[in-house]
Chains A and B, each alone.
Chain A
Amino acid sequence: MDETRPVRFGPLIRGIDAITLAGGVVAAACLMALFGLIFAEVLARNIWGTSLSFSWDYAAYMMGACFLLAGGSALRGGAHVRVTALHEVVPARAVWCMDLAACLAGLLVTAFILWALGHMAWLSFGRGTTASSVIKTPLWIPQLVLAVGALIFVLQMLAQLLRVLRGETLIEDPKTEEAA
């Protein structure tokens, strides 16, 4: 692509990338918390002979938060897998069209995910649904975290779409991000 072309959508994409990075960092913290909760249960049982009644529940919520909050950062880093067999046999212009179509479809589906998860959290809030286990956590709280993750995912998908629109190709190799 033409190097001298002005970088369109620059501020918007940079803003989204910052939010995406924050999501990824929080997701990493959730993953460490997941580990901490489960390991604490092992220690509590074996050292103090008691069980932490919240460890499994909260570890599971942490996993859900990790999955969704890192969704955008995984997309940004090229970690989300896609089938690119066709990309290698068609001309560059067609690759661009396919990437555009993939981003549009991705935007639709991630928007659906956001709507569905947000609606679920909203219903749980309105109905006052709690977990049915020992710790009666109001379910809208972890569900809202998932919805926030979905929102970051939608935003990053939009950023990907804008990148394609300004002529960039989608990141394919996870290794390139890792060096950064």
Chain B
Amino acid sequence: MGKIGLTLLGLLALLLGSGVWVGLGLIGAGIGTLALFKPMMPVEKLFAQQAWNSAVSMEMLALPLFILMAEILFRTRLSEALFTGLAPWTRRLPGRLSHITVLSSTLFAAVSGSSAATTATVGRISASELIGRGYDRNLIIGSLAGAGTLGFLIPPSVIMIIYGVLAEESILKLFMAGILPGGLLALSYMGYLGFRAVMNPALVGDTPPHTTLMEKLAALRGLGPVLLLILAVIGSMYGGIASPTEAASVGVAGAILVGAFQRTLSVKTLAEAAYHAAQTSAMIGLIIIGAMFLSVSLGYLGLPRYIAGEIQALGLSPFALIVVLLVFYVILGCLMEGMSSIVMTLPITLPLVLAAGYDKVWFGVFLVLVVEMAQITPPVGFNLIVIQRITGDRIGTIARAALPFFFIMAAFALVIAVFPGIVTWLPDTLSARN
């Protein structure tokens, strides 16, 4: 097993280090490892199957839709209006407009089931605007990477649905369990941003000029289209009109309407938006294909299962078990797509965690946190890749900027291990009432 792991890591380091495109590098590493250690496997058939499944996976349809929506909104005056409208209100707030990234990620997470979609949308609308307004590049990129991950924790959530099916736990309960931790995590991010701004005021943009209340209210008018769009998307989903993926299409339709209404969107700019969104989707799609193929290859080689079994053999105390699992999933999350790492290890880790006295719903939220951390660890970190596409920074730079937020998440994972009530209180209270 050690040999398999080292070979894989060596291949990945060689391919990715020499600058092979990430998705292709993952595929290459998977092919090489399978060819060496599973010579009877028809690799091309396995790859074709995984590529096909990932490329036409209905669970992922919302992602290109939200990318399209963001590209359309980017070409309207919407983000400018959003920031102009909110700026006067943040004069006295430490961190000022930098909180917008966290707040809009939190809001958007309530619409989108995935972190990549949340990051892509919020990032496209806010990142360049904030950097243009003099906010520190690393702070904005890092907070975007961190807050974008809320997409999985705040319902709806693709990961929670998968976990609910595998662990046979109520998905509704899992959704409820994500709300409070999601909110607290968002607050932690905002607290960190405020703290950084107080320590070093140069990190945030210029103080907005003093304005009267009337002027402040007038500035808010620009928020109208944004609010309407958000209401339309959230309303369609919670009002029984559209399923979560369908709500993304309502978002696209709304964005086109906003653009048409503002007269900022022509057929030509719409076509540009679609062309650009198709490129971004293709880039993410290739990486998803590579990550799924590599994950499944590891599964056939038995690596995740083997390590999980070794952890089982250690016979750890409950808290030590959680710490070791945290480290295990973080390492796995560097290489594997988060969902696959859960699918492959759950049959071993879930009984362990339950035997240690933790709750099934609790472990679901813990795993979501762990998957979110995997979103911002290189080389396979979808949020990093999405942001790279938006800002053009290098993966390493983005990963470094995201590091404080990674630590906030890790600390938060340990906090919920010590105080599991943060997770279980809301679902227990709400289901007790029924």
Show the binding face of A for B, using Cβ within 8 Å.
Answer: 24-25, 27-32, 34-35, 38-39, 41-42, 46, 56, 59-61, 63-64, 66-71, 73-75, 77, 79-87, 98-99, 101-102, 105-106, 108-110, 112-113, 115-117, 119-120, 142-143, 146, 173-175, 178
- B65 to A35, Cβ gap below 8 A? yes
> B21 within 8 Å of A by Cβ?
yes
Write the nearest CB–CB distance from A144 to chain B, whole angstroms: 12
- A31 to B68, Cβ gap below 8 A? yes
Interfacial residues of chain B within 13-32, with CB under 8 A of chain A in the complex:
15-25, 27-28, 31
Write the nearest CB–CB distance from A106 to chain B, whole angstroms: 5
Write the nearest CB–CB distance from B97 to chain A, whole angstroms: 23
* Interface-side segment among B46-54, B99-107, B201-209, B295-303: B46-54
A85 (CB) vs chain B CBs: closest residue? B396
- B286 to A80, Cβ gap below 8 A? yes
What are 8 contact pairs spanning A and B, CB under 8 A? A66-B64, A74-B283, A75-B21, A84-B394, A109-B31, A116-B48, A146-B52, A175-B392
- A34 to B61, Cβ gap below 8 A? yes
- B64 to A105, Cβ gap below 8 A? no
A160 (CB) vs chain B CBs: closest residue? B21
Write the nearest CB–CB distance from A178 to chain B, whole angstroms: 7
Distance in angstroms between the alpha carbons of A174 and B71 in the assembled complex: 14
* Interface-side segment among B76-84, B272-280, B309-317, B322-330: B272-280
Distance in angstroms between the alpha carbons of A178 and B17 in the assembled complex: 27
Write the nearest CB–CB distance from B235 to chain A, whole angstroms: 12
Q: Given the complex, which residues of A lie within 8 Å of B65, measured CB to CB?
A: 34-35, 38
Show the binding face of B for A, using Cβ within 8 Å.
Answer: 15-25, 27-28, 31, 44-45, 47-49, 51-52, 55-58, 60-61, 64-65, 68, 236, 241-242, 245-246, 248-250, 252-253, 271, 274-283, 285-287, 289, 378-379, 385, 388-389, 392, 394-396
Write the nearest CB–CB distance from A99 to chain B, whole angstroms: 7
- A42 to B278, Cβ gap below 8 A? no
- A35 to B52, Cβ gap below 8 A? no
Distance in angstroms between the alpha carbons of A178 and B310 in the assembled complex: 49
- B241 to A24, Cβ gap below 8 A? no
- A79 to B245, Cβ gap below 8 A? no
- B22 to A42, Cβ gap below 8 A? no
- B282 to A79, Cβ gap below 8 A? yes
**A81 and B283 contact, Cβ closer than 8 Å, known pairs A66-B64, A68-B55:** yes
Among the listed B28, B44, B60, which residue makes an inter-chain contact with A63, where contact means beta carbons less than 8 Å apart? B60
- B16 to A31, Cβ gap below 8 A? no
Distance in angstroms between the alpha carbons of A84 and B49 in the assembled complex: 30
Distance in angstroms between the alpha carbons of A139 and B210 in the assembled complex: 63
- B55 to A146, Cβ gap below 8 A? yes
A115 (CB) vs chain B CBs: closest residue? B44
Write the nearest CB–CB distance from A55 to chain B, whole angstroms: 9
Distance in angstroms between the alpha carbons of A165 and B414 in the assembled complex: 52
- A35 to B286, Cβ gap below 8 A? no
- A105 to B24, Cβ gap below 8 A? yes
- A84 to B68, Cβ gap below 8 A? no
- A24 to B21, Cβ gap below 8 A? no
- B55 to A84, Cβ gap below 8 A? no
- B19 to A84, Cβ gap below 8 A? yes
- B24 to A110, Cβ gap below 8 A? yes
Q: Given the complex, which residues of A lie within 8 Å of B246, measured CB to CB?
A: 38-39, 41-42
Write the nearest CB–CB distance from B425 to chain A, whole angstroms: 35
Among the listed A74, A102, A174, which residue makes an inter-chain contact with B392, where contact means beta carbons less than 8 Å apart? A174
- A105 to B28, Cβ gap below 8 A? yes
Write the nearest CB–CB distance from B32 to chain A, whole angstroms: 10
Q: Given the complex, which residues of A lie within 8 Å of B275, measured CB to CB?
A: 24-25, 28, 73
Write the nearest CB–CB distance from B229 to chain A, whole angstroms: 15
Distance in angstroms between the alpha carbons of A53 and B94 in the assembled complex: 52
Among the listed A24, A41, A101, A120, which residue makes an inter-chain contact with B52, where contact means beta carbons less than 8 Å apart? A120
Distance in angstroms between the alpha carbons of A80 and B311 in the assembled complex: 37
**A98 and B19 contact, Cβ closer than 8 Å, known pairs A28-B278, A46-B241, A116-B47:** yes
Distance in angstroms between the alpha carbons of A108 and B316 in the assembled complex: 46
- A82 to B396, Cβ gap below 8 A? no
Q: Given the complex, which residues of B lie within 8 Å of A42, measured CB to CB?
A: 236, 241-242, 246, 249-250
Q: Given the complex, which residues of B lie within 8 Å of A41, measured CB to CB?
A: 246
Distance in angstroms between the alpha carbons of A142 and B22 in the assembled complex: 25
Write the nearest CB–CB distance from A175 to chain B, whole angstroms: 5
Write the nearest CB–CB distance from B189 to chain A, whole angstroms: 25
Write the nearest CB–CB distance from A72 to chain B, whole angstroms: 9
Among the listed B55, B68, B283, which residue makes an inter-chain contact with A79, where contact means beta carbons less than 8 Å apart? B283
**A173 and B392 contact, Cβ closer than 8 Å, known pairs A32-B274, A112-B31:** yes
- A24 to B278, Cβ gap below 8 A? yes
Among the listed A67, A75, A108, A117, which residue makes an inter-chain contact with B48, where contact means beta carbons less than 8 Å apart? A117
- B48 to A63, Cβ gap below 8 A? no
In this complex, the member of B49, B285, B395 whose beta carbon has the largest number of chain A beta carbons within 10 angstroms is B285
B27 (CB) vs chain A CBs: closest residue? A109
Write the nearest CB–CB distance from B390 to chain A, whole angstroms: 9
Distance in angstroms between the alpha carbons of A102 and B380 in the assembled complex: 18
- A63 to B250, Cβ gap below 8 A? no
Write the nearest CB–CB distance from B366 to chain A, whole angstroms: 29
- B61 to A63, Cβ gap below 8 A? yes
Q: Given the complex, which residues of B lie within 8 Å of A146, measured CB to CB?
A: 51-52, 55
Write the nearest CB–CB distance from B394 to chain A, whole angstroms: 6
A86 (CB) vs chain B CBs: closest residue? B17
- B17 to A109, Cβ gap below 8 A? no
**A102 and B27 contact, Cβ closer than 8 Å, known pairs A38-B248, A60-B57:** no
